[in-house]
Structure 1
Amino acid sequence: MRLWHVDLLKYLPKGQLLSQWRELNSIFAKEDKHILINYIYEYSKNDLYVYTEKVIEEMKKRGYQIRSYEKMNKYFENLESVKHVKPFKNHHDNEYLQICYYNLKEKFIRGQKDFEEEMYNNLCWYVNDILKNSIDGFK
């Protein structure tokens, strides 16, 4: 279980993006605990809501159909106002960007069928541009 770095959603292959929606629905239904996502419970539901909206936006942009928002709506039903901030800002940092990038790089190298070369190249350009302009850079 993983919530991909928010800035990488537009570079995810179809399989990872659709899995992201399934994982979010699992969180909505059971408030799953997993070592790779436990950090989300340190934040307000605002962050998860904004993240979820970004996943939905990317899915719609690609023409993917969402059959039901039932679990999402129930999970967020008491959320009063939403501040549209960068979600999980202390965890979705440059280090996590690198972690997600290398995970996706391995999927591409190993031949994931739905990971097109153009999308992978765009991912590489984006990540390299972000990291070369950051203080952290590649470590």
Structure 2
Amino acid sequence: MRLWHVDLLEYLPRGQLLSQWRELNSIFAKEDKHILINYIYEYPKDELYVYTVKVMDEMKKRGYKVRAYEKMDNYFEDLESVKNVKPFKNHHDREYLQICYYNLKEKFIRGQKDYEEDMYDNLCKYVDDILLSQ
């Protein structure tokens, strides 16, 4: 279980993006605990909401059908207002960007079937630009 770095959502292969939606729904249903996502419970719930909307927006942008809003709606039903923030800023930092990048790089190198070369090249360019600019 992993919530990919928020800035890398647009570079995720189909499999990882669709899995992200499944993992979010699992959090909504059970408030899953897992070493790779436990940090989200340290943040206000609106940050998970913003992250979720970003995942949904990317899915819609690619033409994927987003179904089953019920778990999400139930999970966020007590949320009154949402600030448009960059979610999980203390965890989705430069180091986590690198961790996610190398994870995706390995998937590409090992031949993940739905990871197109142009998407991987765009990921590499984005990460290089970020890492070189800081």
Distance in 2, matches of 1:67 and 1:49, equals 16
2:29 aligned residue:
29
CA apart distance, 1:12:
0.1
> SS of 1:17's equivalent?
helix
2:41 aligned residue:
41
1:137 aligned residue:
none
TM score, norm. by length of structure 1: 0.96
> SS of 1:122's equivalent?
helix
Which amino acid in 1 is paired with 2:12?
Answer: L
2:126 aligned residue:
126
2:3 aligned residue:
3
CA apart distance, 1:101:
0.1
For the aligned residue pairs, the C-alpha RMSD in angstroms reads 0.3
CA apart distance, 1:130:
0.3
CA apart distance, 1:100:
0.0
Distance in 1, matches of 2:94 and 2:87, equals 14
TM score, norm. by length of structure 2: 0.99
Q: What is the aligned residue count?
A: 134
Distance in 2, matches of 1:49 and 1:58, equals 14
Q: Percent same amino acid at aligned positions?
A: 82
2:13 aligned residue:
13
Distance in 2, matches of 1:99 and 1:49, equals 23
Distance in 1, matches of 2:129 and 2:66, equals 32
Distance in 1, matches of 2:47 and 2:41, equals 10
| Runs of 5+ consecutive residues of structure 2 not aligned to the other structure | none
Distance in 1, matches of 2:58 and 2:45, equals 20
2:83 aligned residue:
83
Moved over 4 A (4+): none
| Runs of 5+ consecutive residues of structure 1 not aligned to the other structure | 135-139
Q: How does 1:61-100 map to 2 (within 5 A)?
A: 61-100=61-100
CA apart distance, 1:97:
0.1
